[in-house]
Amino acid sequence: MTERLSPGDVAPDFTLTTDTGESVTLSDLRGGKVIVYFYPAAMTPGCTKQACDFSESLESLKTDGYTVLGISPDKPEKLGKFRDKEHLTLTLLSDPDKAVMTQWGAFGEKKLYGKVVQGVIRSTVVIDEDGKVEHAWYNVKATGHVAKLRRDLGLSED
């Protein structure tokens, strides 16, 4: 079983490449709150719905002090196509070797159509200003997740 993060844990630091080839380091974002969400694959229906929901909520999340990072095993080139096709405004990060996903408990055994498989576990982790886990949700649903997240964080709906 993959070790999952819990509230109070220090979020493991990472540096990953964006869809534009820049690097993002989590510890550089200290002093602000960060929503890190893990999704299986760009341009699939559930992942597209979730990314679009985050994009649509991005301005109000920023106003509430949050940076949003979406992480998948896709290569930066595919993430760039995903961004362009869906007009996404959030930061998309590439974790092709799944090292960050594994470290964050977002890769491992999961059930897919009744079978146990190794894969990306759709997860969302909220990090506070000091780099500690405030909330960690695993096996989240793609549809309606952003609205639920806003409710759970006590943020108003858009």
Residues with catalytic function: 47
| Cβ 79 vs Cβ 19: under 8 Å | yes
Give Cα separations from 11 to 21, 50, 62, 121 (angstroms): 23, 22, 20, 17
How is residue 52 written in tokens? Answer: 């679009």
Torsion 29-3-6-47 (CA) sign: positive
| Nearest partner of 38 among 4, 62, 9, 64, judged by Cα | 4
Burial class (CB in 10 A: 0-12, 13-18, 19+), 123: buried
